Chains A and B, each alone.
Chain A
Amino acid sequence: MSGCPYFQAKLLPSSKQHLTEDENNDSQTGVNKASKGGILYGDYLQLDKIVTSQVLQSELKGNKIHDEHLFIVTHQAYELWFKQVLWELDSVREIFISGHVRDERNMLKVNTRINRIVMIFRLLLDQFAVLETMTALDFFDFREYLSPASGFQSLQFRLLENKIGVPHNQRVPYNRRHYRDNFRGQESELLLRSEQQELTLLQLVEQWLERTPGLEEGGFNFWGKLQTNIFKGLDGEKEKIEQETESETKEEMMAEFIKHRDVFLSLFDDKRHDHLLSTGQRRLSYKALKGALMIYFYREEPRFQVPFQLLTSLMDIDTLMTKWRYNHVCMVHRMIGSKAGTGGSSGYQYLRSTVSDRYKVFVDLFNLADFLVPREWVPKMNPTEHSFLYTAECCDSSYCSSDDSD
């Protein structure tokens, strides 16, 4: 059977027992179960499908190029992980869509899965280092056999963009015009649905933010209180500057103050927000923005701790996607210089144009940093009066506690 000690020519029987420390202890006990029936590893993972799907075009055309195998496997690994990201993303969207997110016990699940997406993207970023072991010269040897296949035709990548919330009209022109051309039949329908009908993660998070406790004008009235505090604080700052003796420094300080004040004036100007929304520079509704700022300022309150982690993870997704795009750009530039892409785009130049805030879905969360204020200006909470910070909603009639693992 297995383990015949005389199998190897060179060795003497007395030679094998040198490292005796763990030969006879419990770590080596056990019975091999594989022969007892039941699904085995290779079947469980359908490895017969996975491990036979590497067909080199260069080999089919009679000119097998070694490095094409790496090219194929790398892209297949990316697509496997895209599938996993979509799995997690859809499950989170479902929790929001079905209303289950109103039971705040589901926040752990939401957070964990969004964070998992972040971890996968980190891995996908590291993965470039492996493909970068291929030289441009070696790529040149088989690139001709690839045409017109191109990453531009990756369905999962487009689904990902759409379901997170990349808006169609924000895509750069070449992307906007052509990206749907690559898909037909069922794929095309799926894509269209994800773009136009289904609620994106951005939209679902927007609705959730609008429901942030504390925004109610008849309740805590966060926005009203904040506005009052900020302008009181600004008045105080202005007075201090005015008390200074006339000098160049005083003028500079006053100019700085005015800039500072204008930023806050814009914060409370809802018409300005609508304008920025229409130009695509803002993506969240005014009310959702208020909710996000509330969560930022009161992140240490028990009820907002996990929501704050969620907002942070959403920004991580944007950051990692844009780093992914940039890593991709750098590698493509090295591989093909300024040549056109196999799919027909201008190649490097096109890809470079997609490394842009147009593709930043949660851009508003980043920009909230414009409106941070000293801690003393943040409206004070009174635990006895404002108990909503401690009391989560944990019962929703449409949802029963721990039934759905999904």
Chain B
Amino acid sequence: MSGCPFLGRKHHNSSQPEEDDSQKGINKASKGGIVYGEYLQLDKVLSAQVLQSQQKGDKIHDEHLFIVTHQAYELWFKQILWELDSVRELFIKNHVRDERNMLKVVSRIHRITMIFKLLVEQFTVLETMTSLDFFDFRQYLSVASGFQSFQFRLLESKIGVADHLRVAYNRQHYRDNFHGQESETLLRSEQDSSLLQLVEEWLERTPGLERDGFHFWGKLQANIEEGLKLKKQKLKEMSNSEEKEDMLEDLNKQTEVFTAMFDPSRHEYLLNKGERRLSYKALQGALMINFYREEPRFQVPFQLLTSLMEIDTLMSKWRYNHVCMVHRMIGSKAGTGGSSGYYYLRSTVSDRYKVFVDLFNLATFFVPRAWVPKLNPQIHKFHYMAECYDSSYNSYSSEETD
């Protein structure tokens, strides 16, 4: 069987440590039931590496790395879609109204960011291939191209990348690659509610926005106007100088920014341009969560907003890492799929693809803590009390682990 200590010629066992509890156990594999290789369907996974260079009679060693790297990316894309769809489902089914589900939502969105971090790291492995070695087999790749990655497009679509904001080549051609069921699935994903849209609706329901309630927006506007007025008065009292002029100029600029902030038609204008993606009400909800993030009810929502921005950042880093590597591999040559290659990819490293761009831009509207409307725990209880019962959802959450 196994374990004959005299098998190796040079060594003998006098130095082996005494056996302790750590070495106890019986090997269960022979007792029936699914074993590791079957559980993971390794027969399928590990037989999927077929080198085109080898098929064409010119086996190039590095092609194996190229294949495995892309397969690993696609495995993780599948995992991200699994998490993303489960979160979208929680919003779509309104289970998110039971705030006990927020932990699940935030954990899964955070998991997506951890996977993206790994995917960015993964470039370093493919970067061990030189452009010279890539050149040796690139010709055998024919028209295969990452541009045809179905899961990648699903991902973009389900997160909320807007079709009309894609760069021209992308917008014109990306759907051409998919037919039949894939094409239908892709089309459907563009019609279904994206994460962006679901988060938007959720933000619009942020407690504290109600005009007949806390009326956050009205109070904020009043406080800001008051604050700016006081600042202006103090400046006017200063003796004339160049410094005073500069400070007045700054104050004017600040005033403009805040005036625009409270102008709903300006928001509509920017929405139409694609420079903003969330509704005006959702933006207010986001600002509320940011200002009051330490209130118990908003702590986890705040973590969610942070993770959503992290997804955008990581996707953009992924795109950029990809660009850098492609530049090194193929210089200015066209891509196998037909795009201009490096130049095309470079154009996708852009805010057009930043889904939660509004969350980043909230920083434009931050004010000193003193200007943030005060909460009175006696009057305003909403920020301590979560909603944890919704008639459409059965409370005992471990029934549906999804």
Q: Mark A residues whose CB is within 8 Å of B.
A: 1-3, 5, 7-8, 10-12, 14-16, 18-19, 22-24, 26-47, 49-55, 57, 64-67, 69-70, 72-73, 75-77, 79-81, 83-84, 87-88, 91, 112, 115-116, 119-120, 122-123, 126-127, 129-130, 133, 141, 146-156, 167-170, 172-174, 176-182, 196, 277-281, 340-346, 349-350, 352-353, 405-406
* The one of A11, A37, A42, A69 that contacts B148, using a Cβ cutoff of 8 Å: A42
Q: Are A30 and B125 in contact (CB under 8 A)?
A: no
Question: Given the known A-B contacts A54-B78, A80-B75, are A148 and B33 also in contact in the complex, defined by CB atoms under 8 Å?
Answer: yes
* The one of A36, A64, A91, A178 that contacts B27, using a Cβ cutoff of 8 Å: A178
Interface class of chain B by DSSP? helix
**What residues of chain B lie closer than 8 Å to A10, measured between beta carbons?**
271
**What residues of chain B lie closer than 8 Å to A155, measured between beta carbons?**
37
Q: How far is the CA of A250 from the CA of B6 in the complex (A)?
A: 50
Question: Given the known A-B contacts A22-B167, A46-B48, A50-B45, are A77 and B340 also in contact in the complex, defined by CB atoms under 8 Å?
Answer: no
Q: Are A77 and B72 in contact (CB under 8 A)?
A: yes
Q: Say yes or no for B79: interface residue by CB 8 A criterion.
A: yes
Question: Given the known A-B contacts A36-B143, A64-B401, are A181 and B27 also in contact in the complex, defined by CB atoms under 8 Å?
Answer: yes
**What residues of chain B lie closer than 8 Å to A341, measured between beta carbons?**
25
Question: Given the known A-B contacts A41-B144, A149-B35, A405-B136, are A181 and B29 also in contact in the complex, defined by CB atoms under 8 Å?
Answer: yes
Q: How far is the CA of A65 from the CA of B76 in the complex (A)?
A: 18
Q: Are A346 and B8 in contact (CB under 8 A)?
A: no
**What residues of chain A lie closer than 8 Å to B222, measured between beta carbons?**
none
Q: Are A83 and B28 in contact (CB under 8 A)?
A: no
List the one stretch of B169-177, B237-245, B293-301, B366-374 in contact with chain A.
Answer: B169-177
**What residues of chain B lie closer than 8 Å to A83, measured between beta carbons?**
46, 49, 68
**What residues of chain B lie closer than 8 Å to A55, measured between beta carbons?**
41
Question: Given the known A-B contacts A26-B343, A174-B23, are A15 and B272 also in contact in the complex, defined by CB atoms under 8 Å?
Answer: yes
* The one of B21, B44, B121 that contacts A126, using a Cβ cutoff of 8 Å: B121
- The residue in chain B whose Cβ has the minimal distance to the Cβ of A354 is B22
Give residues of chain B (312-341) contacting chain A, Cβ–Cβ below 8 Å.
334-340
Q: Mark B residues whose CB is within 8 Å of A.
A: 1-3, 5, 7-8, 10-16, 19, 21-31, 33-42, 44-50, 52, 59-61, 64-65, 67-68, 70-72, 74-76, 78-79, 82-83, 86, 107, 110-111, 114-115, 117-118, 121-122, 124-125, 128, 130, 136, 141-151, 162-165, 167-169, 171-177, 190, 271-275, 334-340, 343-344, 346-347, 350-352, 398, 401-402
Question: Given the known A-B contacts A29-B340, A55-B41, A72-B40, are A196 and B143 also in contact in the complex, defined by CB atoms under 8 Å?
Answer: no
Q: Are B401 and A45 in contact (CB under 8 A)?
A: no
Q: Are A129 and B48 in contact (CB under 8 A)?
A: no
Question: Given the known A-B contacts A181-B29, A342-B28, are A349 and B21 also in contact in the complex, defined by CB atoms under 8 Å?
Answer: yes
Q: How far is the CA of A49 from the CA of B272 in the complex (A)?
A: 43
Q: Are A133 and B12 in contact (CB under 8 A)?
A: no
* The one of B44, B70, B75, B163 that contacts A3, using a Cβ cutoff of 8 Å: B163
Q: How far is the CA of A86 from the CA of B44 in the complex (A)?
A: 18
**What residues of chain A lie closer than 8 Å to B190, measured between beta carbons?**
7
Please list 11 pairs of residues, one from A and one from B, whose beta carbons are closer than 8 Å in the complex, sorted by A's number. A11-B272, A36-B143, A53-B44, A54-B41, A87-B68, A119-B128, A146-B39, A149-B39, A177-B2, A277-B11, A345-B27
- Say how far B275's CB is from chain A's closest CB, in angstroms: 7
* The one of B75, B130, B136, B271 that contacts A76, using a Cβ cutoff of 8 Å: B75
* The one of B10, B70, B115, B402 that contacts A66, using a Cβ cutoff of 8 Å: B402
Q: Are A45 and B150 in contact (CB under 8 A)?
A: no
- The residue in chain B whose Cβ has the minimal distance to the Cβ of A122 is B124
Q: Are A176 and B3 in contact (CB under 8 A)?
A: yes
- Say how far A134's CB is from chain B's closest CB, in angstroms: 8
Q: Are B36 and A42 in contact (CB under 8 A)?
A: no
Q: How far is the CA of A40 from the CA of B149 in the complex (A)?
A: 9
**What residues of chain B lie closer than 8 Å to A79, measured between beta carbons?**
40, 42, 45-46
Q: Are A45 and B74 in contact (CB under 8 A)?
A: yes
Q: How far is the CA of A281 from the CA of B21 in the complex (A)?
A: 24
Q: Name the residue in A15, A38, A41, A87 with the highest tally of chain B Cβ atoms < 10 Å from its Cβ.
A: A41
Q: Name the residue in B5, B37, B147, B165 with the highest tally of chain A Cβ atoms < 10 Å from its Cβ.
A: B37
- Say how far A120's CB is from chain B's closest CB, in angstroms: 6
Q: Are B164 and A5 in contact (CB under 8 A)?
A: yes
Question: Given the known A-B contacts A41-B145, A181-B27, are A75 and B59 also in contact in the complex, defined by CB atoms under 8 Å?
Answer: no
Given contacts A32-B173, A174-B25, A352-B22, 16 further A-B contacts (CB under 8 A): A1-B175, A8-B164, A34-B176, A40-B177, A45-B70, A50-B44, A87-B64, A129-B114, A133-B111, A147-B33, A150-B29, A196-B7, A278-B10, A342-B28, A346-B21, A406-B61
Q: How far is the CA of A220 from the CA of B339 in the complex (A)?
A: 60
Q: Are B143 and A40 in contact (CB under 8 A)?
A: yes
- The residue in chain B whose Cβ has the minimal distance to the Cβ of A72 is B40
Question: Given the known A-B contacts A34-B176, A40-B148, A46-B48, are A169 and B5 also in contact in the complex, defined by CB atoms under 8 Å?
Answer: yes
Q: Are A123 and B118 in contact (CB under 8 A)?
A: yes
**What residues of chain B lie closer than 8 Å to A29, measured between beta carbons?**
169, 340
- The residue in chain A whose Cβ has the minimal distance to the Cβ of B46 is A83
Q: Are B144 and A27 in contact (CB under 8 A)?
A: no
- Say how far A64's CB is from chain B's closest CB, in angstroms: 7
Q: Are B148 and A49 in contact (CB under 8 A)?
A: no
Question: Given the known A-B contacts A2-B175, A73-B76, A83-B49, are A123 and B143 also in contact in the complex, defined by CB atoms under 8 Å?
Answer: no
Q: Are A2 and B173 in contact (CB under 8 A)?
A: yes
* The one of B12, B19, B25, B274 that contacts A345, using a Cβ cutoff of 8 Å: B25
* The one of A27, A57, A170 that contacts B347, using a Cβ cutoff of 8 Å: A27
- The residue in chain A whose Cβ has the minimal distance to the Cβ of B190 is A7
Q: How far is the CA of A37 from the CA of B338 in the complex (A)?
A: 13
Q: Are A180 and B40 in contact (CB under 8 A)?
A: no
